[in-house]
Structure formats: structure tokens, C-alpha cells
Amino acid sequence: MQYLFDGFTLDLGRGELLRDGERLAVEPRAFALIAHLVENADRLVGKDELADRIWEGRIVTDAAISTLVKSARKALGDSGALQKYIRTLHGRGFRFVAEARLGNALPARAAEALPGPGAAGDAPAETGRQPSLAVLPFALVGAPERYGAIADAVPGELIASLSRLRWLKVIARGSSFRFRGSSQSAEEIGAILGATYLLTGTVELIGDRLAIAVELADCRSGQAIWAERRSGDIGDVHLMRDEIAALVVSATELHVPLQEAELARLKSPESLDAWGCYHLGIQHMYRFNRADNARAAAHFARATALDPHFARAHAALSFTSFQSAFLRYGGDRQADVEDARRHAERAVELDPMDPFGNFTYGRAHWLRGDPEAGQAWLERAMSLSPSFAQGHYAHGWASVMAGQGEQALGAVRKAVDLSPLDPFLYAMESARGIAHLHIGNLDRAAHWSAQGARKPGAHHLISAIAAAICDIAGKPEEAAYWKLRTFERRPDTTAEQFFTAFPFRDPAIRGELERSLDRLGFRAR
């Protein structure tokens, strides 16, 4: 749907604001504010309604709302003094006061600016469609000499590595490398290539020192959503190339879906396609609580209804079913266990090369008390994408449950190195604690289990691990603290639930944990 007013075109379907056919850069929340006011121009829109619509009911200050209104006015060439389009009714809310009419087609200049059918790059990507990414050749700073070729070698390797991410379209080198040394903006390059995201970088060669910096930007707004820099001796060039490639792939797996989710949340639910629903579900999936898990599952179910062959949405449904079974959110755990297996199996059937699908299928075996059987699928996920941090994390947990402490430590360290801000960081550090318990390092075991229990997302079973390990390590005050936190989070926690979730194979470790949980009062209830 489009609204036309004073030379502006507000295109809700494409998520764009144009003036005289030229696309304007608008911050996503400012666009959502303009859209909501235009759609409700016949009435006053209160601040509480804006908070509910744009911030999803979160508590926001009047100052935050005023700042957003200011951004929206700036995009329209309006101001608080003029109030030509957005009028403030003090203490009551806001109204859109210009006359807007419905339109069905893009203005002529905008239509001319878009590539025709079959044109290279196709039309610019829209929120909700499968994200696409272009990697440009890196800029070279300093004397090129022997290592100058690295400015092309690193982005070339990144294109190859990122192409393994089945949910992401990666623009071919032959197209993206045409922009070597270009002064065009991310928005302009994205529009030409049909790319949603742009990865750029610099290579600095000064004496015997090398530095590589990378930046990931959203082409729709020009906003940088992630950046990283690594430096070292020129002799470490190959090590740094591998490290940068791993960091970029891991960051893309994490930050692009979260960015897409944020944009999808600002659109009306009925306008979302399968990809939009999927990304909106991702935003809820990593909050690790009953209500958000249910919301995520609903979004993923809608995505599979819109596109039954959407492998990643089936894998995500397996993820939420796993979470429900693991943390006993629902009334029928066995049904959740079966759903986790069924959806993961369907994901792998639809796309056997997707690491996320293989990851969920590997984890589904945990729920059936057979983590070793899932190891092959987790190893396959890492083989498909060596930088898939959650694959390394899950492999580490499976090793922990199989009694392989040293192997688990290596896998978890790799996961944390790849994704230091991962949503699963709490579980990574908790697994590190159990791994140290396996190798007899009790102080490190207590330290890491407590670190995991303090991280965002940590649930009652993670704090139960901290309580048990601190007790085993001879730290009664810390054990008592984590026992209290466990029962605050979930009063019905029992040892039986603990060992159903964590089917440890090492009889000595299991015995120690059983005795500790018994001392702490985690008995059947």
C-alpha cells in the first residue's frame, strides 16, 4: 500500500519513503512512526499507543518519543516550529495533518530508477525477503609490496565462506568487485547490486605490521551494525586471514538475523512474508523464557505455513520445541520431544547443507537421552560451516555429557572465540565449568559454572549446575546462593529434571552431582 502527499510516496509494502521519486534515508523507527500516523490520520495518536506499536509495549520515556518525532519530522523536511505534517497536541499525542491519498504505483522517476526485469542485481532487497550481502574489495593502506594482494584475497575468501550460509544470498565477486575504490554510499551500491547488506574493509601494511578492519552495514539505512579490527606481525598474515573470516561468518550469523528481526517488528503483521515472520521469531527465540518461546514458535509456524519448503523455519521450530521440552514449558514434554525431532528432520530433508538444520537435528537426540548419536550431525554442521559458533557450542555440550572434558573445553573455547556475544554464552560458560569438573579442576569448575549462571538468558538448570559444582568444590556459601536462585527461577526444580535434561554418561561425575543435589535439597517433589 502507498500513500501520496506533497510529492512524497510512503510505500508500506517496500518499507520506503520517497520524495519526487528519490528514496530517502529514514531510520526504521522513524519510518514506522510516520506510517502509523499516516494510516491513522483521522484521529489523535497517543504516546501510549506509540509505545505499544513501535516499542512493542516496552516502557519508554517522553524524551525518547520526542526524539523519534524529531527524526520523523526531519525526514519529511518538517520541524517542531512548522508542524506541517506532524502536529503535537501537548499532553495528548500527535496527528498527521497533511492530506494523504492512496496510490497504486510508484512515481515515474522512482520506476525509472529501478532495474527492469532480468537486469543485473534485480530490484533492491526489501525487509522480509531473504537477505543478501555484497563483499567489496578491501582498501589498501600503506606500501603494497609483497602482501598487497591480501586486499583482494580476504574478501574473496569471505565470499566463499559466507556462501555456505544457506539463508543468505551472497553477491558474486564479478559483480561486487566492480566497486573497487568506489565513493558511492552503501545505499547506492546496495540499490545497484540488489544487496541488503554491504561488507567493506581496509588492509593496513605499515613496516612489519598488518591490520585488517571490517565493517558490516545495512544498505537500506547506511547504518553500521557490526565492526571488528585485528592487527599483528606481517608473518601472521595467514593466521589473521583465517581469524577474520571466522569472525565475519559468525558475526553475520548473529547480527543480520537480529537486524532483520528489528525491521520486521516495525511492519504490520499482515504484510510480513515467510522471511519476515522467521526473522521476527528469531528476535523472541533467544530470550529464553516461556512467553517469548511461544511467540517465536508462532512466528515460525506462520513462516512454514506461508512457505512449506522453508528449511530454516522448520529448524527454528525444532529449536523452540527443544526449548519447550528441555525447560518443560508445556504440559506434554514427550510431544515437544517428538516435535523437536520431526521439525529438525524436515529441515535437513529440505536442505541437507544448512548447518542450522543439522545443529537442531543433532540436539534433538539429547532429548531422547542419546547425545552421542547427535554428535555426527553436530560435526556435520561444523563441517558445512567451520565458523558456526553454535555448532561448536553444542558439540562441546555433547562431549561434556559423554564424559570427554578436554575435548569439550576445546569446542567451547572455539565457540566463545567465534561469538563472544552469543545468546548461548551462558550455556557455553556453564559447559566450561562442567568440563573442568570432569578433569578435576574444581576451582575453575566453580568459577565458570557461576559465570554462566550470571549471564543473560541463564535458566534454572544453569543455576542448578552452579549450585552443585560449588558444593562439590567446597564453596558452601556460593552453593547456597545458587540453590536459592534456582528455586526463585523455578520452584519445582528436582534432581530428576536435572538428569533428564543432562544425561551424563560418566558414572563418577553423575554420582558426584547426584550426591551434591541431594545435599542441597533437590529431591523429587
The confidence score (pLDDT) of residue 482 equals: 96
The confidence score (pLDDT) of residue 180 equals: 84
The DSSP symbol for 45 reads: B
**Quick check: 322 and 360 in contact, CB under 8 A?**
yes
In terms of residues, how long is the chain? 525
Coil vs helix vs strand at 249: helix
Distance separating alpha carbons of residues 434 and 472, to the nearest angstrom: 11
Coil vs helix vs strand at 184: coil
DSSP 131-162: PEEEEPPPEEEE--GGGTTHHHHHHHHHHHHH
Q: Give me the sign of the Cα torsion angle 514, 517, 519, 521.
A: negative
Q: Which CATH number fits domain 388-525: 3.20.20.100, 2.40.10.340, 1.25.40.10, 3.40.50.2300?
A: 1.25.40.10
Across the range 391-404, mean pLDDT stands at: 88
The confidence score (pLDDT) of residue 323 equals: 92
C-alpha distances (whole Å) from 325 to each of 334, 366, 428, 431 are 7, 11, 20, 19
Q: Of 290, 316, 291, 286, which is closest to residue 301 (Cα–Cα)?
A: 316
Across the range 310-317, mean pLDDT stands at: 94
Across the range 312-341, mean pLDDT stands at: 92
User: What residue spans define the domains of the chain?
Assistant: 2-103, 123-262, 268-386, 388-525
Q: Tell me whether domains 2-103 and 268-386 share a fold.
A: no
Calculate the average pLDDT of the chain.
85
pLDDT digits (tens, 9 = 90+) for 137-174: 998 887 666 666 788 888 888 888 888 887 888 887 87
DSSP 419-487: -TT-TTHHHHHHHHHHHHHHTT-HHHHHHHHHHHHHSTT--HHHHHHHHHHHHHTT-HHHHHHHHHHHH
Domain covering 268-386 assigned CATH 3.30.420.10 in the classification: no
Fold of 123-262: Rossmann fold (3.40.50)
Distance separating alpha carbons of residues 241 and 218, to the nearest angstrom: 24
Fold of 2-103: Arc Repressor Mutant, subunit A (1.10.10)
pLDDT digits (tens, 9 = 90+) for 198-235: 999 998 888 788 889 999 999 988 889 999 998 888 88
Instruction: Quote the pTM value.
Output: 0.63
pLDDT digits (tens, 9 = 90+) for 442-498: 999 999 999 999 998 899 999 999 999 999 999 999 999 999 999 998 898 999 989
The confidence score (pLDDT) of residue 480 equals: 95
Q: Above pLDDT 70, what percent of the chain? A: 92
